[in-house]
DNA sequence: ACTCTGACCCAAA
DNA sequence: ATTTGGGCCAGAG
């Protein structure tokens, strides 16, 4: 097989996914936080991009990633699914669509 | 090459 | 609470 050179974009994506994979159960991290942890400061959008490209059925804890302030960023059925999973992990919501970051933010 | 569109973020207004 | 503007940047057309 032709040895595939991994593009820098692929490596970046891998770092993002690995960081998401490291969020412990019962915690949430923000897009910006993930970017920061992955060594990609100010590139929160890239994190959202990587997650939106995730194949359905992925094992990654994508539901532990929320927008700034604990806001659920996804819409529609995905939002309900995320909420369902977070509730199942014992997270508390201040209002529908907003998790209490102060209580369960991931501290790497 | 260029424009549009986002699972984004933040400070200001 | 909402909007605006700047930052950031990969894919799609």
**pLDDT one-digit tens code per residue, A20-44:** 999 999 999 999 999 999 999 999 9
pLDDT value at A13 more than 90: yes
Percentage of the residues of chain A whose pLDDT score is greater than 90 = 93
Footprint of strand C on the protein (CB under 7 A): A 9, 42-46, 49
* CA atoms of A23 and A75, how far apart (whole Å): 22
* CA atoms of A48 and A67, how far apart (whole Å): 9
CA of A89 to C1' of C11 (A): 34
pLDDT value at A4 more than 70: no
Burial status of residue A32 (CB atoms within 10 A of its CB: 0-12, 13-18, 19 or more)? middle
- Higher model confidence: residue A25 or residue A7? A25
Q: Which nucleotides of B are covered by protein (CB under 7 A)?
A: 6-10
pLDDT value at A5 more than 70: no
Give how far Cα A42 sits from Cα of A33, A71, A105, Å: 9, 18, 19
CA of A1 to C1' of B9 (A): 42
Please report which helix (H) or strand (E) contains residue A101, including its range.
Answer: helix A101-104
CA of A69 to C1' of C1 (A): 15
CA of A73 to C1' of B5 (A): 16
Mean pLDDT of A76-96: 96
Number of alpha helices (DSSP H) and beta strands (DSSP E) in chain A: 5, 4
pLDDT value at A105 more than 80: yes
* pTM of the predicted model as reported, rounded to 2 decimal places: 0.94
pLDDT classification of A58: cutoffs 50, 70, 90: very high
């Amino acid at each position: 097989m032709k040895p595939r050179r991994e593009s820098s974009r692929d490596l970046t994506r891998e770092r993002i996914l690995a960081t998401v994979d490291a969020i412990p159960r019962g915690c949430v991290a923000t897009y910006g936080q993930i970017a920061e942890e992955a060594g990609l400061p100010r590139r929160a959008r890239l994190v959202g991009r990587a997650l939106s490209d995730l194949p359905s059925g992925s094992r990654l804890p994508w539901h532990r990633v929320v927008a700034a302030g604990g806001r659920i960023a996804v819409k529609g059925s995905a939002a309900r699914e995320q909420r369902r999973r977070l509730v199942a992990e014992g997270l508390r919501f201040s209002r529908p669509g907003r998790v209490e970051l102060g209580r369960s933010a991931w501290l790497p």
